[in-house]
């Protein structure tokens, strides 16, 4: 399977999962805030173009970055992911982080930058 076909298949699967999450939000209102956050991530991911997919985050990475970089705020992490989505170069990502009060020496920030710049195939990660 070529890269574009694989990305399209993943996007299809994410759309299906997003629909399932929406159903959970409607059926389980007590847990809807966390489910809605996860559904939002799935929706953002399905909007990524195959040429420049969003950075992939495992659930473990998501909670780690949320806790260690964004002070436990899912909203701040989501805002950062949305801000990074349309960026077209590693320089834009670097400028985004430089404009904020992130500890660029922290391991979590370095890992986040690695993931955020990985989608730019022709460019090595900003921090190795």
Tokens representing 94 are 């670097």
Sign of the alpha-carbon dihedral angle for 24, 29, 33, 36 = positive
Per-residue pLDDT, 32: 54
**Average pLDDT over the chain, rounded to whole?**
74
**Residue 72 pLDDT:** 92
Render pLDDT for 1-10 as a digit per residue (tens, 0 to 9): 666 667 667 7
The region of weakest confidence among 4-13, 29-38, 108-117 is 29-38
Please write the tens of the pLDDT for every residue from 72-99.
998 999 889 888 888 888 888 888 888 8
Q: What is the pTM of this model?
A: 0.53
Q: Which of 116, 108, 104 is nearest to 80 (CA)?
A: 116
């Amino acid at each position: 399977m070529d890269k574009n076909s694989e990305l399209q298949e993943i996007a299809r699967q994410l759309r299906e999962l997003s629909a399932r999450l929406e159903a959970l939000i409607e059926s389980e209102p007590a847990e809807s805030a966390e489910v809605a956050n996860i559904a939002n991530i799935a929706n953002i991911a399905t909007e990524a173009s195959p040429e420049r997919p969003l950075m992939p985050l495992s659930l473990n990475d998501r909670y780690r970055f949320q806790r260690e970089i964004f002070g436990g705020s899912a909203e701040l992490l989501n805002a950062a992911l949305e801000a990074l989505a349309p960026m077209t170069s590693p320089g834009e990502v670097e400028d985004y982080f430089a404009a904020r009060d992130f500890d660029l020496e922290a391991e979590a920030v370095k890992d986040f930058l690695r993931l955020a710049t990985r989608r730019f195939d022709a460019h090595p990660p900003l921090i190795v």
